[in-house]
């Protein structure tokens, strides 16, 4: 009976966590992120976008600038292109904004983004999928203090920092009847004003940013996967040799 109660409690916890993760994404269907954490050009562009547009408010306190040498940048390139104030190449990525001002402007301090791609994963998709969808579903909303809202994270306090690149869009909904109730289904987007990038270019830029955030959450992930493959190959060969050696030892014994 005790085991049954523990199992029931565990199932309830799983359902609560799944519901919470689904609610965090606004119940939206997540688009598939590119997932190119081995593409150095993409990671380098993502690092540039992150420093220029995200690091003003969000920190990456567990990542040092000199770790970007892992994605093919030299320390000179980091200093010349990614350090704009008095930071040293060995320092962590800290936001320029004052925490008190951030809380006053947005109602809360912007979260640290070092592990954001890992923390946002859920039953609807990976954390990278969530971020990729989130950065592409902002729309103008004059009822909000920032003037922006988001389909993936409704009523978000964050403004659309990449709006100059994407331009202004508004969602187009289609009303349908489901189970006797009228529901709104996203049909598409209407471009209100153009940005400096086309939609394809913007999606690629967001993809690069998400690739960098995904890499930053675990810089050693590609090495881990590569080493893991060789370990599995070694174990497979060792298992085969052990099996054949065992057969040779016992072949004359009946």
CA neighbours closer than 13 Å in the CB half-sphere of residue 182: 3
**If pLDDT is split at 50, 70 and 90, which confidence band does 11 have?**
very low
Inter-residue contact 152 to 25 (CB < 8 Å) = yes
Q: Distance between alpha carbon 35 and the CA centroid of its chain, in Å?
A: 10
With contact defined as beta carbons under 8 Å apart, do 208 and 46 qualify?
A: yes
Between 130 and 184, whose confidence is greater? 130
Domain ranges of the chain: 2-219
- Whether the pLDDT of residue 212 is over 80: the answer is yes
User: Per-residue confidence at 130, pLDDT binned at 50, 70, 90?
Assistant: very high
Lowest mean pLDDT among 2-11, 20-29, 91-100, 179-188: 2-11
| Gap between the Cα atoms of 243 and 64, Å rounded | 48
**Domain 2-219 is in which class?**
mainly alpha
């Amino acid at each position: 009976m005790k085991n049954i109660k523990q199992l029931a409690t565990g199932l309830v916890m799983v359902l609560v966590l799944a519901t919470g993760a689904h609610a965090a994404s606004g119940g939206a269907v997540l688009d598939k992120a590119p997932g190119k954490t081995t593409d150095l050009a993409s990671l380098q562009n993502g690092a540039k976008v992150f420093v220029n547009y995200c690091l003003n408010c969000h920190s990456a306190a567990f990542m040092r600038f000199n770790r970007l040498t892992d994605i093919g940048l030299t320390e000179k390139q980091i200093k010349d292109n990614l350090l704009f104030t008095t930071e040293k190449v060995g320092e962590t990525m800290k936001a320029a904004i004052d925490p008190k001002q951030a809380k006053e402007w947005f109602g809360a301090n912007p979260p640290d983004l070092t592990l954001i791609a890992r923390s946002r994963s859920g039953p609807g998709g990976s954390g990278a999928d969530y971020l990729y969808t989130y950065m592409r579903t902002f729309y103008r909303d004059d009822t909000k203090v920032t003037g922006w809202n988001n389909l993936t994270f409704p009523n978000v306090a964050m403004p659309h920092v990449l709006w100059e690149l994407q331009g202004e869009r508004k969602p187009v909904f289609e009303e349908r009847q489901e189970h006797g109730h009228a529901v709104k289904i996203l049909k598409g987007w209407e471009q209100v004003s153009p940005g400096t990038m086309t939609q394809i270019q913007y999606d690629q830029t967001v993809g690069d940013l998400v690739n960098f955030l995904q890499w930053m959450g675990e810089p050693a992930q590609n090495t881990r996967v590569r080493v893991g493959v060789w370990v599995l190959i070694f174990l497979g060969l060792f298992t085969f040799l052990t099996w054949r050696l065992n057969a040779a030892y016992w072949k004359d014994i009946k």
